[in-house]
């Protein structure tokens, strides 16, 4: 399989600190052959995990999350400003209509 660069799934075997032998399936480098050694990551209960996140992965995820959070905040603020503007315009129009009706009545124009 030349040209394969992404990890492949393989059954791995490891010995726990208490001497018990375990097997499980995980991702390994594509160039490994049966019997080759590799690093397998385990959680606190001894279950297989994917490789831990690298600092580069953390940086990329942080940048992506920060961008999404900042964009969401900007959209929320723009929406609040637009909604506030629409409410103020509606309030001013209502107030203007009331005042115009009072002035119109004072000038002697009556609606038929």
Q: What is the pLDDT of residues 86-103, one digit of tens each?
A: 999 999 999 999 998 888
Q: Which residue has the tokens 């009545």?
A: 105
Q: What are phi and psi of 9, to 5 degrees?
A: -85, 140
Query: What's the rounded Cα separation, in Å, for the pair 14 and 48?
Result: 10
pLDDT in tens, 37-87: 888 888 888 788 877 778 899 999 999 999 999 999 999 999 999 999 999
Find where tokens 């001497």 sit. 19
Same domain, 63 and 94: yes
Residue 107: inside a domain, yes or no? yes
Domain identity same for 62 and 109 = yes
Q: Are residues 45 and 59 in the same domain?
A: no
- Give the Cβ contact number of residue 26 at 10 Å: 19
């Amino acid at each position: 399989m030349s040209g394969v660069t992404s990890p492949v799934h393989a059954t791995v075997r490891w010995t726990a600190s208490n001497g018990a032998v375990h097997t499980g399936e995980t991702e390994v480098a594509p160039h490994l052959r049966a019997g080759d050694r590799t690093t397998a990551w385990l959680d606190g209960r001894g279950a297989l995990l994917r490789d831990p996140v690298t600092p580069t992965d953390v940086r990329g995820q942080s940048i992506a999350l920060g961008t999404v959070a900042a964009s969401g905040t900007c959209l929320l603020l723009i929406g609040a400003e637009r909604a506030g503007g629409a409410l103020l315009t509606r309030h001013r129009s209502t107030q203007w209509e009331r005042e115009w009706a009072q002035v119109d009545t004072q000038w002697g124009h009556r609606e038929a």
